[in-house]
Amino acid sequence: MNSATAGSPVMDALPSVNADRLPLLLVPVLALVALPLMGSLSTWVTLTVAGLAMGMIIFIIASGLTLVFGLMDVLNFGHGVFIALGAYLAMSVLGTMTGWTASEHLLLNLLAALPAMLVAMIVAGGVGLAFERVIIRPVYGQHLKQIMITMGGMIVGEELIKVIWGAQTIPLPLPAAFRGALLLGDAAVEKYRLIAVVIGLAVFAAMFWVLSRTKVGLLIRAGVQDREMVESLGYRIRRLFVGVFVAGSALAGLGGVMWGLYQQNLTPQMGSQVNVLIFIVIIIGGLGSVGGCFIGALLVGLLANYTGFLVPKVALFSNILLMVIVLLWRPQGIYPVAKR
C-alpha cells in the first residue's frame, strides 16, 4: 500500500522550514537606530532599559488579552480593570507590611512584594472567573455587545475601586531595596526597571514553555487557529477558554502591581489609561499571537521612551504611528495567526 505513495513526484517537493525570524530584528534595530540620535551612550542605556521595562510590563498585561481574542473572538475592553485591581490589592497588602518594605534588606522586601503580587494575581484571577461567567459568556460571538458590556464592566469595576479605596490618587512607594539606581559606566539604571525586565522575561519564558511544550499550550495554539476543529477532536474549548481568561486576568493583575510600582501612584482610572496601549500592542503583534505581543510591547515601550526624550510632542501619538507603520507592512500584525 505504501509503495504507491512513496515515489510520486508531488510528494518529493520538500517544503523548507523557514520560520519567520524577521520580526525578531525589529527590537534591536529600533534600539540601534535610536543610538546615534541620543547624543550620549549613557542616555541611550538609561532610556533603553526604561523602555524595555515598560514593554515587559505591557507584555505581561496584554499577553492574556491576545489569547482571549484569538481563542474565542472575544473583544474584552474590560481587561484594564484587572490592572487597577491588582495594583490596589498590592498597595493594601504592602500597606500591612510597612516594616518589611521600609527595610533596606532585599530579602524582607521580597517577602513583602511576593505575597502582594500573589494576592493580586489570585484575586484578579478569581474576579476574572466571575467576569467571564457573568459578562462575557452571554455575549459570545456578538462583537458589538462585547464591546459595550465589557466597557460597562470596566466602569462598574472602577466605581467599585473608588468605593473600596477612594477616588483620590494614592502613592505606592517602592520597597526600599528596589529604589535608586545602579551605575553602569555613566548610565544610571533604576533598579526597579531591571527587576521589571527580569520578571517580564520570566513570564515570557514560562508562557513560551507552556505554549510550545505542553498539550494545553498546543490546544491553545490550535484553538486560536481553528476552534471548530479542536472541538471535533474531542476537546472542550470553552473550558480551555475559561482557563485562559482566568490566567490572563491574573497576569493583568500582576502587570497592574508592576505598573503601579513603575508609576509609584495609583488612580482608579489607571486601567483605562493602559487599555488603549494594550490594544495597540496586541494589534501590532497580530491578534492571538503571544510572540507578536511580546515584540509589539517592547517596541511600544522603547519608542515611548525614545520619543519622550527626543521629541516629546511626538511621544503622545508615537504608538499610533508605530501601529500604522506595522500594519502598512503587515496588515494582520507582526505575526498573523493562520485562521480559517
In the complex, minimum distance from the CB of residue 294 to another protein, in angstroms, rounded to a whole number: 16
Tell me how far, at minimum, the Cβ of 1 lies from another protein, in Å. 5
Rg of the chain (C-alpha set): 21
Within 8 A by CB and 6+ apart from 106, the residues are 177
Q: How far is the CB of 339 from another protein (least distance, A)?
A: 9
Closest of 231, 202, 208, 207 to residue 219, by C-alpha: 231
Q: Find the shortest distance in angstroms from Cβ 135 to another protein.
A: 22
Quote the least distance from Cβ 34 to another protein, whole Å. Answer: 32
- State which residue, 17 or 183, has the beta carbon closest to another protein: 17
Q: Which long-range contacts (CB under 8 A, 24 or more apart) does 135-139 make?
A: 135/78, 136/74, 136/76, 136/245
Burial of residue 14 (number of CB atoms within 10 Å: 0-12, 13-18, 19+): exposed
Rank residues 12 and 168 by Cβ distance to another protein and give the closer one: 12
Element spanning 307, H or E = helix 290-310
Q: How far is the CB of 60 from another protein (least distance, A)?
A: 23
Q: Which is nearer to another protein, 225 or 269 (CB)?
A: 225
Q: Which is nearer to another protein, 96 or 214 (CB)?
A: 214
Residue 20 Cβ, how far from another protein at the closest point, in Å?
Answer: 10
Judged by beta carbon, residue 85 or residue 337, the one nearer another protein is 337
How far is Cα 95 from Cα 172, in angstroms, rounded to an integer?
A: 9
Nearer to another protein, 313 or 340 (CB): 340
Buried-state track 168-177, b at ≥16 Cβ within 10 A, e below 16: eebebebbbb
C-alpha cell, 278: 494594550
Q: Cβ(38)–Cβ(47) under 8 Å?
A: yes
154 vs 110: CA distance, rounded Å = 31
Distance CA 174, CA 263 (A): 10
Report the nearest approach of another protein to the CB of residue 232 (Å).
Answer: 5
Q: How far is the CB of 195 from another protein (least distance, A)?
A: 33
**Cα gap 330→284, rounded to integer Å:** 9
Neighbour count for residue 209 (Cβ, 10 Å): 11
For residue 285, the tally of other CB atoms under 10 A from its CB is: 30
Nearer to another protein, 191 or 330 (CB): 330
Number of neighbours of residue 184 by Cβ within 10 angstroms: 14
- Nearer of residues 10 and 144 to another protein, judged by Cβ: 10
Q: Do 109 and 176 contact (CB within 8 A), yes or no? A: yes
Q: Which is nearer to another protein, 197 or 282 (CB)?
A: 282
- Contact positions vs another protein (CB under 8 A): 1-2, 4-6, 8-11, 13-17, 19, 215, 218-219, 221-222, 225-226, 228-237, 337-338, 340
